[in-house]
């Protein structure tokens, strides 16, 4: 059972009154899982973020082609909602422990008129997360009836597990209680992000929240002003402001976590180094942080984790080309994890090759499980 302070943290999440909080029921479930009785808010879920019902795949064993290429296979269907999984429960690892998996994979059969960007946002995912998990699917006009994977399951990055944790290659932010202790089960919020373009990469390192402001005015840095097609030194609040409705300034130089006036840029390399969230997600995060909230930006394209007695690897694109040999880097991370004798090295190599960003079961001698090499039906992570 978690400590009272972490129960208080979870109840604080439930107490947020901004329209962006689309995960109330999930947070309440997370609190129950940690042994904290959630307080009743008495507020209905905002209509704009209620979950629509879609057909969702129930995984079946893989076929040979999908196994070879690490891609989705055929499956049976049942009617279930696409869940926007942005609140999970995490048992905080000790410094020497392998990080856990959280969330669960979801599958969807495309309906005419849908596109991957809309489905990504509906599932609490960024564009690249969905594109990398479905590399053969047209992002703008997927064929009606085609099966796609919504990769809302992940391995928690190896960090201090306190405050704001941002993993650049994963393009994802995690928000832990600032006083989370090893061994505790705590509620954690997680969202997709947009990051800096290759020519203006997002920084790496520890930081604290310096300040925050609502309806921010953007004073454009000279370096950015020179690159603008229509230079504008000051951008006032409003629909044309790329910062969106909320800005959280960081202690790292001029960088910030902020919203956006263009939601389709979340999950892409589009900023000048800042971290960009969907409008509904920054609206949820904004009231939860304050001056001094700690954080860390890390660069981990390969993560190993454990669940249900199995070892998993999650491989993302090396977006800033930090590792010329990503396979060598993966095996170095594996050696540091102490799990090398438990995995099938060839499965690790394949995961590095396909880079789907989906946790992949690489346990040595494990029987075939799930709908493909990267889609498993092993016990899901905490939700």
Find residue 348's DSSP bridge partners: none
Q: Which of 219, 133, 142 is nearest to 170 (CA)?
A: 133
- Cβ-contact 371, 59 below 8 angstroms: yes
Distance CA 186, CA 190 (A): 13
CATH fold, domain 194-298, is L,D-transpeptidase catalytic domain-like (2.40.440)
The answer to whether residue 375 is catalytic is: no
Could you read off the pLDDT of 85-99 as tens digits, one per residue? 999 999 999 988 999
- Cβ-contact 210, 251 below 8 angstroms: yes
Q: What is the DSSP letter of 116?
A: H
Distance CA 192, CA 174 (A): 9
Distance CA 304, CA 69 (A): 21
Catalytic residue among 107, 274, 310, 316: 274
Domain(s) labelled CATH 2.40.440.10 in the chain stretch across 194-298
Query: pLDDT value at position 140?
Result: 92
Catalytic residue among 108, 258, 310, 375: 258
The helix-helix angle for 24-33 and 4-14 (nearest 10°) equals 170
Q: Nearest-5° angle of CA 252, CA 254, CA 260? A: 110
Q: For the chain, which ranges sit under pLDDT 50? A: 1-5, 17-26, 38-79, 369-379
Q: What's the whole-model pTM score? A: 0.80
Query: pLDDT value at position 1?
Result: 42
Please list, in sequence order, all residues whose beta carbon lies within 8 angstroms of the beta carbon of residue 139, skipping any fewer than 6 positions away: 115, 116, 117, 127, 131
Could you read off the pLDDT of 284-314 as tens digits, one per residue? 999 999 999 999 999 999 999 999 899 999 9
- Please tell me the chain's helix, strand, coil percentages from 3-state DSSP, rounded to the nearest 5: 20, 25, 50
- Cβ-contact 302, 359 below 8 angstroms: no
The answer to whether residue 107 is catalytic is: no
Query: pLDDT value at position 155?
Result: 98
Query: pLDDT value at position 13?
Result: 62
């Amino acid at each position: 059972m978690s400590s009272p302070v972490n129960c208080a943290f979870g109840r604080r999440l439930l107490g947020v009154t901004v329209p962006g909080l689309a995960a109330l029921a999930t947070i309440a479930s997370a609190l129950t899982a940690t042994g904290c009785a959630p307080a009743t808010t008495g507020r209905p879920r905002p209509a704009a973020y209620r979950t629509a019902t879609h057909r969702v795949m129930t995984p079946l064993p893989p076929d040979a082609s999908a196994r070879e290429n690490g891609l989705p296979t055929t499956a049976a269907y049942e009617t279930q909602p696409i869940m926007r999984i942005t609140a999970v429960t995490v048992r905080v690892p000790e410094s020497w422990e392998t990080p856990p998996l959280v969330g669960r994979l979801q599958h969807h059969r495309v309906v005419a008129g849908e596109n991957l960007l809309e489905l990504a946002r509906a599932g609490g995912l960024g564009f690249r997360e969905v594109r990398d998990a479905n590399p053969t699917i047209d992002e703008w006009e997927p064929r009606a009836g085609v099966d796609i994977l919504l990769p809302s399951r992940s391995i928690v990055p190896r960090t201090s597990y306190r405050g704001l944790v941002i993993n650049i290659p994963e393009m994802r932010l995690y928000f832990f209680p600032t006083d989370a202790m090893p061994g505790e089960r705590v509620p954690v919020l997680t969202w997709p992000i947009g990051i800096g373009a290759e020519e203006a990469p997002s920084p790496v390192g520890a930081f604290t929240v310096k300040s925050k402001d609502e309806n921010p005015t953007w004073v454009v840095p000279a370096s950015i002003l020179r690159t603008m097609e229509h230079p504008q030194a000051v951008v006032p609040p409003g629909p044309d402001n790329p910062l969106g409705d909320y800005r959280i300034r960081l202690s790292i130089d001029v960088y910030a976590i902020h919203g956006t006036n263009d939601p389709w840029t979340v999950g892409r390399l589009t900023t000048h180094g800042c971290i960009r969230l969907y409008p509904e997600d920054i609206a949820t995060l904004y009231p939860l942080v304050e001056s001094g909230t700690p954080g860390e930006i890390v660069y981990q394209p390969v993560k190993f984790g454990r669940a249900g007695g199995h070892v998993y690897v999650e491989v993302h694109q090396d977006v800033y080309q930090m590792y010329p040999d990503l396979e060598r880097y993966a095996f170095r991370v594996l050696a540091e994890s102490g799990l090398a004798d438990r995995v099938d090295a060839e499965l690790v190599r394949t995961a590095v090759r396909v880079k789907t960003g989906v946790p992949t079961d690489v346990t040595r001698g494990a029987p075939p499980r799930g709908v493909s090499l990267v889609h498993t039906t092993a016990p899901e992570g905490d939700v």
